[in-house]
Structure formats: C-alpha cells, structure tokens
Amino acid sequence: FSSVFNKTIKITKSLDCDSIVIHPSMGKYEAIKKLLEEKIEPVLKKEGLYLCWETFESRRRIFGGIESMFDFCKNTCFHRICYDFSHIHKEQEEILRDLKENINIIKIFHISNRIKNSIKQHYPIYYPEEEMALDFDKIFSFLKKQGFNGHLVLEYLPQFHSQLLSDALNLKNAYEHV
C-alpha cells in the first residue's frame, strides 16, 4: 500500500493538484481510521493535500452511506468529498439539500446523469433519448449561486465518450452564464 500511496503523492504533486480521489473501501471502519490517522494524514498535512472520498452508498463500505461520509469529512482537516451524481440515487431536491448542507466539504463533482427509475448511470448530462433523473441546468445554477469553485469532471460510460468535448463546452458555457 505504501509504495502505491507514495507514487500517487508524487504524481499528484507533479500535476500541481491538491486532491486525490479515493473510493471508500470495504473493511472495518476503526482499522481504516487508524491507518488514516497514523500513515496517511501526516503525509497529506506535509504535502498540503486532500483525500476526497467518492460518494458510494453501500452498507459493505467503511462509511456505510453518504451521511457518514459527510460527518467524517466535517470533522477532519484533510478529508473532503468527491460527489458523484450517478452514485447517489436520490431525487433532485434531496441532492440539492445535501449539496447546500455540505458544499464546504465538497471539492470535486463527478458529473453524469442517470436514467429516471433505473439503475443505468454515467449517462451524458443532456441525454436526449431517455427521461433523465437530474436537471443539470438547475444543479449548475445552484452550484454557481453557492460560489462553488472546485472541479467539475464529466464521467460517462465509454459509449458516450464522443460527447465529452461538446458537453464540456456546454457545461462551461452554462456554468459561466448562470
């Protein structure tokens, strides 16, 4: 683990980044918390970095759910949230409440849409062929009003990669003109 972590730190610093996105693992919370406190956080502090936990909701993962992730990050200096819209299966109004209550600990958004009433996820934000679960014009307007200035990352299934550039330009335009 240490060699992979140290290599990740070197890559992060060489790219002039301050954030590392990590998926919450499956394991015992107390054991992982001890590892974080003893081995990881001293390095994060020394290097001026954040560990950003990607939002996965699963009882098998160390945090169990998104609320536990929020609580953990609110009570630490070096841990933040990477909010992935496709992994949060809530209605839009609930998502907007989550964002409003936790915007100060969210550094990164992984942006993609979901098919409404389906498990299909990581679709383009403006996918025209299905009814989508989220209205990103409203979400971007909300983020802009909140003063969010972190990273917005489009994350699509491979079959939609051809739409990434045009959606990124539309996203930039929409976010700048809210």
Please tell me the predicted confidence (pLDDT) of residue 23. Answer: 85
Phi, psi of 25 (to 5 degrees): -80, 175
Q: How many CB atoms lie within 10 A of CB 142?
A: 17
Query: How many helices and strands, by DSSP H and E, does the chain display?
Result: 7, 7
Q: Which domains does the chain have, with CATH numbers?
A: 2-176 (3.20.20.150)
Percent helix, percent strand, percent coil in the chain, to nearest 5: 50, 20, 30
Please tell me the predicted confidence (pLDDT) of residue 170. Answer: 86
Q: How many CB atoms lie within 10 A of CB 132?
A: 17
pLDDT tens profile 127-137: 887 788 999 98
Mean pLDDT (the chain, rounded):
90
Helix H or strand E segment including 30: helix 29-35
In this predicted structure, the answer to whether residue 71 has a pLDDT above a threshold of 80 is: yes
- The one-character DSSP state at 77 is S
Of the candidates 149, 143, 147, 118, the one whose C-alpha atom is nearest the C-alpha of residue 132 is 118
Q: How confident is the model at residue 25 (pLDDT cuts 50, 70, 90)?
A: confident
**3-state secondary structure (DSSP) of residue 110:** strand
What integer is the mean pLDDT of 51-60?
Answer: 82
- pTM (two decimals): 0.91
Using the structure block, give the residue that is written with the tokens 């998104």.
66
Using the structure block, give the residue that is written with the tokens 């919370």.
29
